[in-house]
Amino acid sequence: MTSLNLTTALAAMMLFACLLPAAAAEVNLSKLAEADEFINRAIDEKKIPGAVLLVGKGSAIVYEKAYGHRAVEPSQRPMTTDTIFDMASLSKPMACATSVLILIDRGKIALDDPVAKYIPAFGNRGKEKITVEMLLLHRGGLIPDNPMADYVGTREEMIQRINDLTPKWEPGTHFAYTDVGFIVLGELVQAVDGRGLDQFAKEEIFQPLGMHETMFMPPDDLRDRIAPTEKRKKEDEQWIIGEVHDPRAFALGGIAGHAGLFSTARDTARWIQMLNNGGELDGTRILSEATVNKMLTMQTLPDGKGGRGLGVDMDSSYSSVRGARFERGKTFGHTGWTGTMFWSDPREGVYLVLLTNRVHPDGKGEVKELRINVATVVAKVLLGPAASEAAQ
User: 98-101 contacts: CB < 8 A, separation 24 or more?
Assistant: 98/201, 98/205, 98/271, 98/286, 98/287, 98/311, 99/189, 99/197, 99/200, 99/201, 99/204, 99/205, 100/132, 100/136, 100/185, 100/188, 100/189, 100/311, 101/287, 101/291, 101/295, 101/310, 101/311
Q: In 3D, which of 164, 200, 192 has the Cα closest to residue 180?
A: 164
More confident residue, 236 or 102: 102
Residue 295 neighbours by CB under 8 Å, 6+ apart:
97, 101, 275, 287, 309, 310, 311, 312
Residue 287 neighbours by CB under 8 Å, 6+ apart:
98, 101, 102, 105, 274, 275, 279, 295
Task: Return the pLDDT at 103.
Answer: 98
* DSSP bridge pairs for 44: none
Domain boundaries, the chain: 3-94+198-390
Instruction: Report whether CATH 3.40.710.10 matches the domain 3-94+198-390.
Output: yes
Task: Return the pLDDT at 13.
Answer: 42
Single-letter amino acid code for the residue at 257:
G
| pTM tops 0.85 | yes
Burial of 74 (0-12, 13-18, 19+ CB in 10 A): exposed
* Contact call for residues 321 and 341 (beta carbons, < 8 A): yes
Mean of pLDDT values over 187-206: 98
* DSSP bridge pairs for 53: 65, 354
Task: Return the pLDDT at 236.
Answer: 79
Q: What percent of the chain has pLDDT over 70?
A: 91
* DSSP bridge pairs for 64: 54
pLDDT confidence bin for 18, thresholds 50/70/90: very low
More confident residue, 17 or 234: 234
Mean of pLDDT values over 365-376: 98
Q: Is the pLDDT of residue 392 over 60?
A: no
Q: Write the pLDDT tens digit of every residue in 323-333.
A: 999 999 999 99
Task: Return the pLDDT at 262.
Answer: 98
Lowest mean pLDDT among 16-30, 157-171, 254-268: 16-30
Average pLDDT over the chain reads 92
Handedness of CA 331, 200, 257, 126 (dihedral sign): positive
As a whole number of angstroms, the distance between CA 343 and CA 352 comes to 6
As a whole number of angstroms, the distance between CA 364 and CA 354 comes to 18
Mean of pLDDT values over 183-194: 98
Distance between terminal CA atoms of the chain?
A: 29
Q: Is the pLDDT of residue 389 over 90?
A: no
Mean of pLDDT values over 228-245: 91
Q: Write the pLDDT tens digit of every residue in 317-361.
A: 999 999 999 999 999 999 999 999 999 999 999 999 999 999 999
Q: What percent of the chain has pLDDT over 90?
A: 87
Mean of pLDDT values over 163-192: 98
Task: Return the pLDDT at 26.
Answer: 58
Task: Return the pLDDT at 235.
Answer: 77
Q: Write the pLDDT tens digit of every residue in 25-42.
A: 456 778 999 999 999 999
Task: Return the pLDDT at 3.
Answer: 38
Q: Write the pLDDT tens digit of every residue in 278-332.
A: 999 999 999 999 999 999 999 999 988 899 999 999 999 999 999 999 999 999 9
Q: Write the pLDDT tens digit of every residue in 48-81.
A: 999 999 999 999 999 999 999 999 999 999 999 9
Q: According to DSSP H, which parts of 277-367 are helical?
A: 289-295
Mean of pLDDT values over 215-238: 93
More confident residue, 199 or 7: 199
Q: Is the pLDDT of residue 11 over 70?
A: no
